[in-house]
Structure 1
């Protein structure tokens, strides 16, 4: 049994990631800013990591039962579309040289592994970008998706907490 499994109280980290100076890449930080503060508490921590990937990797060394990553995802032909999916940190870990300034989830998980840690269950709430050109502010299309992403994060957190309670029973 690992420290995560032995934890009595579920701990969920909701991490907004992205560069606010690159248009829609700032989606994660904007969603974190708009999540009601009531969601945070002893079991849930909300944090805007921006582009501080190493900071996120160090924080993941703690006993988290789950991670919710809020991020921009590549345009697949439907900018503004919100996607939710469970990520497999093992497949995202890149064996290339580590970059302490990288915010790519694969680089974060690679740093975490290099530090001797292991990623918890990871759910991604992402939005397809319209533009990642230099500039502050989301495109209208992606900005319109922020409320749906906030609801998605609330739903994911509620589901993770409920599953944790069932697993503990």
Structure 2
């Protein structure tokens, strides 16, 4: 086999979905890991029984299919979704147990909910707390909830994926009473060089850079909460790792609001998918 043929085989993509016990499994499907004792290594066995989300279906150079997953409760799950090593795991289709139906229909919309903020700057941690609570809620396959904190570049890369809608949750001063929620659909200005801060996350800068690098989802919404405490992170400020009373009271309301937005956004789409039966 020539070198060209080898790389052609290595780069061959797997199908969009496989059938496991008659249930379609594809990107966004939730599964339980059931590694085969005959094929698994010790690390696979440690993960037995854990819940995971399918990131993709891969095909190796021998033509075998593998289900690439990220762990549901992995704090570095977004790194796995970015195909970084150490947070993405591979199983044969018969080593995963589907948990419920896959994304509603072929081509179902994908939604990213991004919690933003610094948990050590008081009310700036609002988006992170909302993301944490949303992560405990049942949600449709194809809906990802990620606590990005202040990792702006990670969010930029996440926005490059095939999400149809992104919902960013953050604290922002808009002159309203503390705890007031506002939903914005930002109009991104163009031009100029975008530079992200190493220890902060400005949603507008992130969205502009994501667009310059390739794409942003077709629809972007920002859920803002008016803070009561505003800290800048300067050396003379004390660390405040808790939300103020009015902002904490707004968290549950924000969770319900975002869940309603997810339900509205995650409707059926029309992208065709390939199918491969697994027996």
Q: Report TM bin, short chain.
A: 0.7 to 0.9
SS in 1 for 2:185: strand
Give SS of 2:201's match: coil
Counterpart Cα distance in 2 of 1:19 and 1:43: 27
Q: Confirm whether residue 114 of structure 1 aligns to residue 212 of structure 2.
A: yes
Q: CA deviation at 1:148?
A: 0.4
Aligned pair 1:145/2:250, yes or no? yes
Q: TM-score, normalized by length of structure 1?
A: 0.83
Which residues of structure 2 form unaligned runs of 5+? 1-105, 232-238, 271-279
Residue 112 of structure 2 contacts residue 143 of structure 2 at CA under 8 Å; is this kept in 1?
Answer: yes
Aligned equivalent of 2:192, options 84, 95, 100: 95
Q: Which residue of 2 aligns with 1:45?
A: 144
The match for 1:126 among 224, 231, 236 is 224
Partner of 1:79: 178
Describe the superposition over 1:104-151 as per-residue Cα deviations: whole angstroms up to 9, x where unpaired.
Answer: 011101221332223430111111011123411100110011010000
Are 1:72 and 1:128, in contact at CA under 8 Å, matched by a contact in 2? yes
For residue 34 of structure 1, report the CA deviation from its aligned partner: 1.2
Structure 2 distance, partners of 1:144, 1:119, is 30
Q: Structure 1 residues 75-84 or 151-160, which shifts more?
A: 75-84
Higher Cα Rg: structure 1 or 2?
Answer: 2
Alpha-carbon distance in 2 for matches of 1:68, 1:150:
12
Aligned 8 A contact 1:75 1:129 in 2: no
- Secondary structure, aligned partner of 1:145: helix
TM-score, structure 2 as length reference: 0.52
How far apart are residue 49 of structure 1 and its match?
A: 0.2
Structure 1 residue runs without a partner (length 5+): 1-6
Q: Could you say which structure has the greater relative contact order, defined with CA pairs below 8 angstroms and 6 or more residues apart?
A: 1
Does 1:157 pair with 2:262?
Answer: yes
Supply the distance in 1 between the matched residues of 2:175 and 2:207 (Cα, whole angstroms): 24
1:3 alignment partner in structure 2: none
